[in-house]
Chain A
Amino acid sequence: MKRIILLLLSIAFIGGCSAEQSQGEESDYPPDLIEFVAPATPGGGWDLTARSMQRALNNNELVESDINVVNKPGGGGEVGFQYLKNRDSNTLAVNSSLLFTNNELGLSELSHEDFTPLAILATEWQSIAVGPDSDYDNLEAVMEQLKKDPESLKIGVAPGLGNDDHLSFIQAAQEYGIDPSKLDFLVYESGGEVVTALLGGHIDVATMSVSEASEQYKADRLDIVGVSSEERLEELPEVPTFKEQGVDLVFPHWRGVMGPPDMTEEEIAYWDERLQQMVETEEWQTILENNQWDDYYMNAEETEQFMDEQEQTYQELLTNAGLTE
């Protein structure tokens, strides 16, 4: 018995030592080179977010270290997230709601619990569009038709089911009292193809992000019948929100930053401070404006809470748990 106690004591002692040591090392943070993972191909939303952060942080001398953006495309973010999970705190990654949906749809074993949330930075908004010559020129008309006969309209979405484009439409339909399982979604490979299908009359309705739709809208190739934001958007002042048209839903397509698991308090505090300063810079504001993003900043603590809520929401949405049989 005595020996066991001694052993435990010595283990505790060694543990204590190593804990102190690692705390001592933390004063070296941040390292000379920081890696930002964009879990997608260059040019996408995640890639854009990562590179914008890199620019805003380095140009404003908020972070002295070199920042490297690494693209890890595949599996709807899965490849990049798996990569991050096995890195140390020198690596961060951009994330979005796919972190939850992938898990729920059997595409990933990861959840937000596996990482250290640092911030939510910005959000895009979702839009619902119809063809330029459509019979339905507002969201209410679309929803009424679907309520009457859910299978009567073909809805285009890209590049797969379960993304925010898809989910926002499902949730809107649910809010309007439509059974989402009857809806007829056609899955296209890219947003471009959806627009083409809409123009060609192959589909009746399309769901996509505002940034994807607005260009075509301005070129008058489609008509946006609603946006998922709280208030009308500055760049599309004539387009009403979902809420204005009887669909009580605000749906952000947010983007955030997270680190690998087990980051220390000190490291979290470092990024909390820097990112807060970053979103206030002029450069970041310009980036938001250029990309038609809205500021959606939350600090690390708020992000953690937001993530928990979002996970709950997405889970209910995906399993139809909100509906009773």
Chain B
Amino acid sequence: MNRKKYKLQTKIGVLVFLLLLLVIVLANSVYAWNELRQETNDARQLALQTSRSVAGFPAVEEAFENGEGQEADVISEQIRTQVNADRVYIINRNSEIIAGGGEDLNPDARDAYTALVFGGSYVREADKGQEGIIRSHAPVSVDYGDYTSVEGAAVVEYSKAAIRADVWRQTGRTAVISLIVLMIGAAGTVWLSRSIRSDTLGLEPYQIAELYRDRAAIISSVQEGIIAVDNSGRITMVNRAAEELLQLPKNQEGLLIDEVFSSPRKKKLLEGDEVIRNEEIITASKTLIVNESPIAQYGNRIGRVFTFRDKTDMKQMIEAFSDVKTYSDDLRAQSHEFTNKLYALMGLLQLGYYTEAEQMLREESKIQQKHTKMVVDQIKDEKLQAVLLGKAAAASEKKTGFTVDPESSLEAMPEHVTLTSLIIIAGNLIDNAMEAVNGQTTREVSFFVTDIGKDIVMEVKDNGPGMPGHLQTELFQQGTSSKGEDRGYGMTNVKNEVDELGGMIEVYSNLEEGTVISVFIPKEIKKEESRDA
């Protein structure tokens, strides 16, 4: 873009001014031309009529009969002033003036010929040097009783210069008015360009174009979903992230919020007047955090911008992170326990209790083998093996009995069940169970898994105090926990994961007896699930 960028004000100003000037000059020229034509035509008509009436005056006829031209003189002059002609005069057959006249008068015998010889009356335009004249002749016919005879002619002259001067005078007047119009136009131009500039917040059009270009790129690059609406609830902009997060079709701009969203909660939220701050809305798969900021001009709200952040992504990351942390803690605890056992072993050896030391080693290795064997033999899935071994270690640290049901059997998990899902589902269930048995004297948690049939069934059983009925129903809602504030996300996450995998959860709990939670995960994903919440 090497083209020079003119300021908007200059552009509009020059263009409008030139247009106005053109129109005014044209209009004035046409007016002047018309006026000249009209006045010339009028002068011709008037000249002809005047010469005819002068020729018909009795005084003129008498002048020929008596040879006395005084009265005709007076009349000619009188008429001349009345019709504002340059000259009015009477000529005889020899084209000599017998009445009326004016300075530098030189009657044109040739021009008078048709009137004098044929009695014609006519107007002709003659060019007399530089100054043209409009000259009319009418025959003076004298009545001699039996016959009449053309004795002379009445002549009326208008100067074209006088007509032109008159037209110029009038054109001058309209030119002054035109000039005023031009001034008003110029002022209007300045006002218009200012007004446009104030609408564009003082930006020149090319700057606006740049902003617009950049905005499109910026907005589409943002990970947050953005939707802008005007005051009537019409969507003015949707970015790509918003389309993905809210699962909207393309090109929703111009539609009403009402037409785009079907869920009453979203509608109410987005159409309401209250300012939205960190509201959560839940879609089929995601929890979104909505924020709003108003679009304001001159202090009035003319629209609103909504931003949508995916909470699920964030939360899952945090959960996975904390789970990994738990395992490292569990492993540290286990190694700590082993260190203790090694110290004990060293003590026994130093004291010389070899039999006891040998027995201790045997018992330890038996426990280890039992755990490992059970887990490794019956549960073929490495992901679950890892989870269970970690949990077993943690349980052993907490002096909780953790057993994997000998009936368990599991081939490799299907691909769609990821490590994260497993950690979340199994890890949370086992953690919860271990927490539940914390207050008991004998603490037993057992885990059962099987993939016989279409579903993978996981069962976690504890001998804890059990849950009252209301807790069971609220179990999977956020923030529900018997463990106090800031807790209660675990089970919700389990629920979300199970839902994601298309499975279901069953809870069986008896007070004073303990709780059994069963999870059913289908081996194959069901296609075409309805997703909107």
Q: Which residues does A use to contact B, with CB under 8 Å?
A: 101, 104-107, 156, 160-162, 166-167, 170, 180-188, 193, 197, 202, 318-320, 323, 325
Given contacts A181-B113, A320-B113, A325-B110, contact A105 B119 (CB under 8 A): yes
Chain A residues whose CB sits within 8 angstroms of the CB of B110 once the complex forms: 320, 323, 325
A185–B113 touching, CB < 8 Å: no
A318–B146 touching, CB < 8 Å: no
Q: Can you report 24 A-B residue pairs in the complex whose CB atoms are below 8 A from each other?
A: A105-B118, A105-B122, A106-B48, A106-B121, A106-B122, A107-B120, A156-B147, A160-B119, A161-B150, A162-B119, A162-B120, A170-B117, A180-B117, A181-B109, A181-B116, A184-B149, A187-B148, A188-B147, A193-B146, A193-B147, A318-B118, A320-B110, A320-B114, A320-B117
Write the nearest CB–CB distance from B241 to chain A, whole angstroms: 44
Q: Is the CB of B141 closer than 8 A to any CB of chain A?
A: yes
Chain B residues whose CB sits within 8 angstroms of the CB of A193 once the complex forms: 146-147
Write the nearest CB–CB distance from B106 to chain A, whole angstroms: 13
| Alpha-carbon gap, A106 to B47, bound state (A) | 13
| Residue-wise interface mask of B (89-103) relative to A, using a CB-CB cutoff of 8 A (1 in contact, 0 not) | 000010000000000
A104–B146 touching, CB < 8 Å: no
Chain A residues whose CB sits within 8 angstroms of the CB of B149 once the complex forms: 184-187
CB closest chain-B residue, reference A203? B147
Chain B residues whose CB sits within 8 angstroms of the CB of A188 once the complex forms: 146-147
A106–B117 touching, CB < 8 Å: no
CB closest chain-B residue, reference A170? B117
| Alpha-carbon gap, A184 to B139, bound state (A) | 14
Chain A residues whose CB sits within 8 angstroms of the CB of B109 once the complex forms: 181, 325
| Alpha-carbon gap, A182 to B94, bound state (A) | 8
Q: Which B146-170 residues sit within 8 Å CB-CB of chain A?
A: 146-150
Q: Which residues does B use to contact A, with CB under 8 Å?
A: 48, 93, 109-110, 113-114, 116-123, 139, 141, 144, 146-150
Chain B residues whose CB sits within 8 angstroms of the CB of A186 once the complex forms: 144, 146-149
Given contacts A181-B93, A181-B116, A320-B114, contact A105 B121 (CB under 8 A): yes
Write the nearest CB–CB distance from B95 to chain A, whole angstroms: 8
Chain B residues whose CB sits within 8 angstroms of the CB of A162 once the complex forms: 118-120
Write the nearest CB–CB distance from B164 to chain A, whole angstroms: 26
| Alpha-carbon gap, A162 to B117, bound state (A) | 8
| CB within 8 Å: A-B pair count | 73
| Alpha-carbon gap, A215 to B151, bound state (A) | 32
* Among candidates B114, B139, B144, residue contacting A318 with C-beta atoms closer than 8 Å: B114
Chain A residues whose CB sits within 8 angstroms of the CB of B93 once the complex forms: 181-182
* Among candidates B121, B123, B141, residue contacting A187 with C-beta atoms closer than 8 Å: B141
Write the nearest CB–CB distance from B135 to chain A, whole angstroms: 13
Interface pairs A-B: 7 shortest CB-CB: A105-B120, A161-B119, A186-B147, A106-B121, A320-B113, A106-B122, A162-B118
| Alpha-carbon gap, A320 to B124, bound state (A) | 14
| Alpha-carbon gap, A186 to B147, bound state (A) | 6
* Among candidates A181, A187, A202, residue contacting B117 with C-beta atoms closer than 8 Å: A181
* Among candidates B48, B117, B122, B146, residue contacting A161 with C-beta atoms closer than 8 Å: B117
A197–B117 touching, CB < 8 Å: no
Chain A residues whose CB sits within 8 angstroms of the CB of B123 once the complex forms: 106
Chain A residues whose CB sits within 8 angstroms of the CB of B118 once the complex forms: 101, 104-105, 161-162, 166-167, 170, 318
A104–B114 touching, CB < 8 Å: yes
| Alpha-carbon gap, A229 to B48, bound state (A) | 38
Write the nearest CB–CB distance from A159 to chain B, whole angstroms: 10
Choose among A107, A170, A182, A320 the residue with the greatest number of B CB atoms under 10 Å from its CB: A320
